[in-house]
Structure 1
Amino acid sequence: MSEELDEIKEEGDDYYTFLNIPRNAADEEINNAYRRLSRLYHPDKHTDPDRKAEAELLFGKTKKAYEVLSDAHMRAIYDNLGTAGLETQGWEIVQRTKTPHEIREEYERLAREREERRLQQRTNPKSSVTMTINATDLFSVYDDDSPFLDLRDLFGLPHIEISGMTLNQAIEAPLTNRDTAILSGNLSSQNGNGSGGINCSIRRVTSDKGWGEVEVGAGNGLTIAAKAFRNFSRGMFGNGSVITHFTPNGLRVGTVTTLANQLDKHTVGYLTWKAGMQSGMNTMIIRDTPFQHLVCSAYIGIPHTYIAVSYTHKMPEQEYKVKLTGKAGTFGAILEYGAEKKISQNSSLAASLALGIPTGVQLKIKLHRASQTYAATIMLCEEILPAPVIYGTLVPLMSWLAVQKLIIQPYMRQQKQAELLKQREANRSRLLEKRREALAAVELMRETVRRIVEQEEARKGLVILQAWYGQLVVEGSTEECGSPEVVDVTIALQCLVKDSKLILQDSSKCSLPGFYDPCPGEEKNLRVRYLFHAVTHEVTIKDNDSLRIPKQSHRLET
């Protein structure tokens, strides 16, 4: 479902919650809920002109909810498109003669086409900037007989230089639903020597199981490559490429073939062969779960042979990742550890420290923002010494804590507050209308609630003492009552009590009769204090949680 249609559904009324029935409710449940609310809101039951007008509005809403959910076609459109789909879009999408199943299939097909059109309007640019910084002078000062004036002699400053930089840029241009053109380029400089290249490729999706690609590049000679991907069966796929490189020294040809197999729900195994320009064989196993990411690989080839293990521990709630990597082979050994933090919806910051023989100590920092990546590799020392290891670990950590405390957290709070204020202002008129409707519903419920309370008290059943809905900050506190952030829903809940039971579905409670959303966009809770068998009970739930009372666990200790 597209984001635009999600927004449309959110703005409309929730008929399921209004009738207090589950989304898979049967026809009998819908009929029973309709009859219950009809008895409450039918205009003929009210003689006062003002109450009668309010009852007409609420009875009209009850009737509309029943008409939609009791009709299989309208219900299918409502489930996919919301109330806006019922007004215009739904009947434009499907014909009245189609079955509910066909309506859902038609909607899903059009949603896919809409997404394809959105993709065609984007070039999907991707870019990266990578710097290599030599900061070994911070920890290892070498004697220099250079006749030039050195800043270290005047100010005692270490010599830090950018020894290399690489720029990469790529854009995609969809030509048809199956064809995509990709243009990419790179430019690099290392110790005063530069190089670059440009590549253009055309990718065609041949079927739902594969695609092919032809690429032409220019830089250090002409390069022509052909690539292909194929999904062989459920859980098994492979890809291959043939690369031809025309150099001043002659023609070079290389091939790369990869075969992958889904070992289980979270594990994939890869086997890769390289021949020609660079010969070797690599096997890799990747296991990815919501909380862990493990990669084990072994490579045999030219010029190096090695084994590597990488483990990442994910903390989704804190939006943190902690990573540890070990690699050893004919080139030496490397141990790397670091962390990654998501700092906004589309941005993440990562830092790691690599200890290697003979590579020394390197600090790596990476900022990823949307489709852009900025990375820096800082060479701290050519040998593994305690000082660069300690500083390379503690300085990024302390810097991150300071930046988060002084800059990021205040900025995020300010942004959230500004967004909430903007949303409240935009919803002010709608909020006032919903509040007026809720108050009108409560007034119409009072006589019915009075009878329900008398019946429940007579049998020592379920009596709602107090109930609040909204931002409940302090547990057990009633200070928020009367605040614009909290709604008193005691009467509204008591009206839903039947046979000494109250059942609420797992959806937002703001669409229940007598309820409204006092703080759109913010977290809300529902707190209920009630009597059952003359004993006080209390429970607090989140807005989207289901509720079933009475329960022994809600009983308050006396």
Structure 2
Amino acid sequence: MSSSSPSDPYAQGATDPHDYDPDERRASAVDDAFEEEDLETAEERIERENAPSAVDYYAVLNVERTATEEDIKNSYRRLCLTFHPDKHHRPEDKATAESRFEKIQKAHDVLSDPIKRHIYDTYGPDAAEMSWEVGARGQSREEIRAEFERQSRQRQEMAAETLVKPKGEISLSLDASPIFDTDVWRSRHRRRLPLGRFEPVNTQSRGLADVLQWPEVTQAFVKHSWETQITQQSTLIVNGDVMARNGIGVGNVTGTLRHIISPLMWGEVSGTIGQSPMMQGKLVKNFSSDSFATITATSQTISGPPTLIGVLGRRITTKTTGYLTYRTGEWQLGPWGADQDFRERSACSLGVMRQVERGQWNVDVQVGVAHSHISMSYFKVLPRSIRGRFSLTLSTLLGAQASIAGDKKITKYSRIGLGVDCASMGGVTFRLKLARLGQKFVLPIILSPQFDMRLAFWAAVLPVCVSVALDKFYFNPRRKHRLAQKLAQVRGANAEILAQRKQEAEDAVRIMKDSVLRKVEAEESRNGLIIVEALYGKLPPSDLAPIRALSMQGIKGIFENLGSVNEEAASANVVRLEYIDVTMAVQSLVNNSQLHVSGGHSKVNIIGFYDPCLGEQKRLRITYKFQGKLHQVEVDDQAAVAAPLRGDFPFLVYPKELLSHSTFSFSSPGS
């Protein structure tokens, strides 16, 4: 066992007890899973994290994951002194020792073999116990790993062949402006008179029947695509789209071949047939990890040269990237293109993109022959898998445009989003979006053909307020109730396994009692380290008052009567405690007045430990006597422990709630 020096108690990753705040909320499995993105993922997390895990070989031997072969050998030898079956003569103790020694032996066999240890560290205990006929005997770690991953990849590919992963989008535009805009409703309900005239505008107020009418469908758009990998470097993408507007429909089919030319360059060629035929080529070149360039050529007619778009980008700082874009628009090369109507003009833009914490800023300034604009957008990932977006554009052609949107993950594979678009020359539009497994449904609803600030404000605020209220007062309580039920279900399903591990831990403590008492006497003779109390689980506030009055004879009496006390507590009709006494198990880890509990894994697999509160955050609190003084340390479940702390001078470490005590360090009555 690798032990840290008393002068360097944190060398093995021990947590500084001064960092512990007893007022800090102790999260349970329900609290942790509640922060997941959706209910399905949260339930899966509870089931995954709270299922009884396989035996951790490092915890069994109480060594770090970085332990050397000598550390493993020394720890194995020390455990053999206590748990080797030949050391016990009573039949019940011998049977318990054989069961525990079998696990110790298996842990030693795996961790002392470099190949098996590598397999165990990489793929877990199940892989370490496999026959590993994937490769010939004598293969290197890299060869074994490559073969294992190849077989895993084959199984994944066979499963993937049965799945279809298309991408689709359906967009149905509705015009609801007569419902929200009285002027639009009145203008559309004017009767036509002879000679192309209309009757005067009706100034009477609308009735309920006039408001409750189905919005008019103005446009429908459907898009579908799929892709397949032809070779390792080439991918074929096929997509089709159909749009119907005012009774007129158009459709196109586009095929794209994407090819990786080199690690720093790739390109693609696309062709579209249908109502709007087109050919397009694109080339992307990364000059380094900080700079890139792209060139795109698009041709919709052979009567003129293709339009070109060039982009040069460079990383300015670690989180900021700048890019320069130039668009040629439609142009002519000598007589080629002289007859075409130049509808698209050239433009040049300069943009900056900056990554911020869980978000991104984009600013773009464009100067063009036809029009210019300044645009800004911001994207932010909020807690609970909520994503927000905001954009603002000032254009010489379309005026001011603003958009705000947000979406939230509602199930493992589904998201729902809301958004509002408004423009000084385009009215107000409310958007509803639902996405699931690559399929997307978008419902734009025109609220007003003219800009209305009040309508835009309420269109943005009301849906958010309703969503927040539903989430807080309905979905959150329902979610917590479901997760609590899931945790109870997991506990019930694993009750037999947990009871078995509890019995194994108690049996291990019983057979180590004699050797632990000998350790206590040896430590007492040298005024060394004696564990007065060690508690593990969901701990109550610390109280050292009863411990202060203990004499050495009283401490030894606790060890001698520990088994009977536990049996009485188990048989008594009392509320089940969510922590256990592991004093004897921790004392067994003391060697030469030094205690080291390895970290990086849960302590439930340490010999003499078990899980008393499945699904709750567990901590280990150790009160020990060293050189006649009492000390206390408390750490998280995954943290390492090294004692004595801070060299040989005595001091006492308490949670912050006990800092008002006047006696932190004192001589025990028996010393």
Tell me if structure 2 keeps the 8 A contact 1:76–1:104: no
What is the letter of the counterpart of residue 654 of structure 2? H
1:539 paired with 2:634, answer yes
Residues 370 and 418 of structure 1: is their aligned pair in 2 closer, same or farther, counting only changes over 3 Å?
farther
Match of 1:127 in 2: 168
- How many matched pairs? 544
State the SS of the aligned residue for 1:133.
Answer: strand
Q: CA deviation at 1:141?
A: 0.5
Q: CA deviation at 1:24?
A: 1.7
- Tell me which amino acid in the other structure corresponds to 1:260: G
Asked if 1:53 is matched to 2:106, the reply is: no
Aligned-pair CA distance for 1:293: 1.4
2:243 is the counterpart of 1:188: yes
Alignment-derived partner of residue 483 in structure 2: 416
Q: Which residue of 2 aligns with 1:169?
A: 224
| 2:84 corresponds to which of 11, 36, 42 | 42
Which position in structure 1 is the counterpart of 2:359? 292
Structure 1 residues 380, 345: closer, same or farther in 2, change over 3 A? same
2:122 to 80, 96, 121: 80
Equivalent in the alignment of 2:654? 554
> Which residue pairs with 1:18 in the alignment?
60
Q: What displacement does 1:332 show?
A: 1.2
Greater strand share, 1 or 2? Answer: 1
Counterpart selection for 2:385 from 299, 319, 325: 319
In structure 1, what is the Cα distance between the partners aligned to 2:353 and 2:371? 22
Match of 1:402 in 2: 469
Seen in structure 2, the aligned counterparts of structure 1 residues 496 and 190 have a Cα distance that, compared at 3 Å, is farther
Coordinate RMSD, CA, aligned? 3.9
Which residue is equivalent to 1:308? 375
Which letter does structure 2 place at the counterpart of 1:525? Answer: K
Shift of 1:415: 4.8
Instruction: Encode CA deviations 1:429-487: one digit per residue, 9 max, x unaligned.
Output: 54444333323322223333334445556737452524132xx387669x999738655
Find 1:146's aligned residue among 168, 171, 190: 190
Q: Are 1:226 and 1:242, in contact at CA under 8 Å, matched by a contact in 2?
A: yes
Q: Is the 8 A contact 2:371 2:395 kept in 1?
A: yes
The change in CA–CA distance for 1:154 and 1:328 in structure 2 (over 3 A counts) is closer
Q: 1:81: how far off?
A: 1.7
1:27 CA displacement: 1.9
Deviation at 1:375, TM superposition (A): 3.0
1:483 equivalent in structure 2:
576
Do the aligned partners of 2:115 and 2:141 also contact (CA within 8 Å) in 1? Answer: yes
Q: Quick check: 1:183–1:199 contact (8 Å CA) kept in 2? A: yes
Match of 1:254 in 2: 307
The answer on whether the counterparts of 2:117 and 2:128 sit within 8 Å (CA) in structure 1 is no
Report the AA paired with residue 227 of structure 1: K
Using the TM superposition, give the Cα deviation of residue 207 of structure 1 relative to its aligned residue in structure 2, in angstroms: 4.0
Normalising by structure 2, what TM-score? 0.70
Q: 2:156 & 2:226 partners in 1: Cα distance?
A: 19
- Evaluate the alpha carbon distance shift between residue 487 and residue 75 of structure 1 in structure 2; reply closer, same or farther with a 3 A threshold: same
CA contact 2:529–2:644 (8 Å) conserved in 1: no
Q: Deviations over 1:36-90 (max 9, x none)?
A: 222221111111112111211211211221121122111111112222222226x
**Structure 2 residue 394 is matched with structure 1 residue 328:** yes
> Which of the pair has more CA radius of gyration?
2
After TM superposition, give the deviation of residue 157 of structure 1 in Å.
1.4
Superposition deviation, residue 200 in structure 1: 2.5
Correspondence 1:335-346 to 2 at 5 A: 335-346=402-413
Tell me whether 65-74 or 214-223 shows the greater mean CA deviation. 214-223
Partner SS state of residue 225, structure 1: strand
C-alpha distance in structure 2 between counterparts of 1:79 and 1:506, whole Å: 12
Change (3 A) 1:304 1:442: farther
Q: Does 1:508 align with 2:602?
A: yes
Aligned letter for 1:163?
T
Range with greater deviation from structure 2 (52-61 or 336-345): 336-345
Cα distance between partner residues in 2 of 1:121 and 1:260: 41
* Selected match of 1:224 from 259, 276, 279: 279
Q: Which of 409, 423, 426 pairs up with 1:356?
A: 423
Gaps of 5+ in 2: 1-43, 193-201, 331-343, 544-568, 646-651, 662-671
Offset at 1:418?
A: 5.6
Would the aligned equivalents of 1:306 and 1:327 in 2 still touch at CA under 8 Å? yes
Tell me whether 1:441 sits opposite 2:508 in the alignment.
Answer: yes
Mapped contact 2:177–2:449 kept (Cα < 8 A): yes
Instruction: Give secondary structure in 2 for the equivalent of 1:88.
Output: coil
Kindly provide the CA deviation profile for residues 266-295 of structure 1, in whole angstroms up to 9, marking residues without a partner as x. 333333333355443343332224433111
Provide Cα deviations, 1:194-217, integer angstroms capped at 9, x if missing partner. Answer: 333222333333444444433332
Instruction: Kindly provide the CA deviation profile for residues 489-535 of structure 1, in whole angstroms up to 9, marking residues without a partner as x.
Output: 44333333442534340222232222334566x34312425244654
Q: What amino acid is the match of 1:491?
A: M
SS in 1 for 2:109: helix
For structure 1, list consecutive stretches of 5 or more residues without a partner in the other structure: none
Is residue 71 of structure 2 the alignment partner of residue 29 of structure 1? yes
Q: Paired residue for 1:245, among 289, 300, 308?
A: 300
Alpha-carbon distance in 2 for matches of 1:262, 1:116:
37
Whether contact under 8 Å (1:312, 1:322) holds in the other structure is: yes
3-state DSSP class of the match of 2:173?
strand
The corresponding residue for 1:496 is: 589
Give the distance between the partners of 2:254 and 2:235, measured in 1 at CA: 14
Assess if the C-alpha contact under 8 Å between 2:52 and 2:498 holds in 1: no
Aligned CA distance change for structure 1 residues 25 and 155 (closer, same or farther; 3 Å) = same
- Contact 1:456 1:463 (C-alpha < 8 Å) held by counterparts: no
- State the alpha-carbon separation in 2 of the partners of residues 487 and 162 from structure 1: 67
Counterpart of 2:19 in structure 1 is none
Deviation at 1:113, TM superposition (A): 6.8
- Higher relative contact order by CA 8 Å / sep ≥ 6: 1 or 2? 2
CA distance in 1, matches of 2:442, 2:282: 29
Q: Tell me, yes or no, if the aligned pair for 2:174 and 2:217 is still in contact at 8 Å.
A: yes
Partner secondary structure for residue 277 of structure 2: strand
Partner of 1:178: 233
Whole-angstrom CA distance in 1 between matches of 2:415 and 2:644: 46
- Shift of the alpha carbon at 1:235? 3.5
Task: Confirm or deny that 1:524 pairs with 2:579.
Answer: no
Counterpart contact for 2:221–2:242, Cα < 8 Å: yes
Alpha-carbon displacement from aligned partner over 1:174-207 (angstroms, at most 9, x marks no partner): 3443333322122233454433322233333344
TM-score, normalized by length of structure 1? Answer: 0.83
Change in 2 beyond 3 A, CA 1:167/1:17 = farther
Q: Distance in 1 between matches of 2:178 and 2:529?
A: 80
